[in-house]
C-alpha cells in the first residue's frame, strides 16, 4: 500500500551525492544522480554497510565498507562482494521536497536479500 512521505529538501541533496533520511526507523538513502532522485535502503546486502555514506559515480553508489557498487535505479549489486538487490522506493519531487513511497519497496524487504535478476 502506498505511503508517501516527505523526506529531504531537494536543495539538501546535491547532484552526485546521497543523504540518509530516517523514516521512523527505516533508513533510506536519497540519491541525486544524473538529474533525478532515487531512494534505496541504507543497508548493503553484503554486511549491512551504510550505503548512503558511500561515494556516487553516475547512477551507482559504492558501499563505504568493502566497496561493492549498486545501481541506484534498481538496487542491484553490480560488483562483489555484495550480491542481490537492496530495496528501492518510488520517488517524486513536489515543490522543494523529495517524496518517497515507503509503502512500496521493490526487490527486497528490509533485512532480506532477494536474488532475483
Ligand atoms: S558491507 Fe557493503 S560491501 Fe561489505
Q: pLDDT of 65-103, one tens digit each?
A: 999 999 999 999 999 999 999 999 999 999 999 999 999
Asked whether the predicted pLDDT for residue 62 surpasses 50, the reply is yes
- CB of residue 44 inside a 6 A radius of ligand 1: yes
Look at residue 12 and give its three-state secondary structure.
helix
For the chain, domain boundaries: 4-101
- CB of residue 73 inside a 6 A radius of ligand 1: no
Look at residue 70 and give its three-state secondary structure.
strand
Would you state the CATH architecture of domain 4-101? 3-layer Sandwich (2.102)
Q: pLDDT of 12-48, one tens digit each?
A: 999 999 999 999 898 999 999 999 999 999 999 999 9
pTM: 0.90
- CB of residue 91 inside a 6 A radius of ligand 1: no
Confidence of residue 11 (pLDDT cuts 50, 70, 90): very high
What is the model's pLDDT at position 114? 47
Amino acid at each position: 500500500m502506498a505511503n508517501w512521505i516527505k523526506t529531504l529538501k531537494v536543495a539538501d541533496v546535491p547532484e552526485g551525492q546521497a543523504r540518509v533520511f530516517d523514516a521512523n526507523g527505516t533508513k533510506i538513502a536519497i540519491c541525486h544522480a544524473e538529474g533525478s532522485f532515487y531512494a534505496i535502503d541504507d543497508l548493503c546486502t553484503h554486511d549491512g554497510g551504510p550505503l548512503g555514506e558511500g561515494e556516487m559515480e553516475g547512477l551507482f553508489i559504492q558501499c563505504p565498507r568493502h566497496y561493492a557498487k549498486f545501481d541506484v535505479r534498481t538496487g542491484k549489486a553490480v560488483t562483489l562482494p555484495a550480491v542481490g538487490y537492496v530495496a528501492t522506493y518510488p520517488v517524486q519531487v513536489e515543490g522543494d521536497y523529495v517524496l518517497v513511497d515507503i509503502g512500496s519497496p521493490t526487490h527486497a524487504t528490509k533485512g532480506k536479500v532477494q536474488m532475483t535478476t
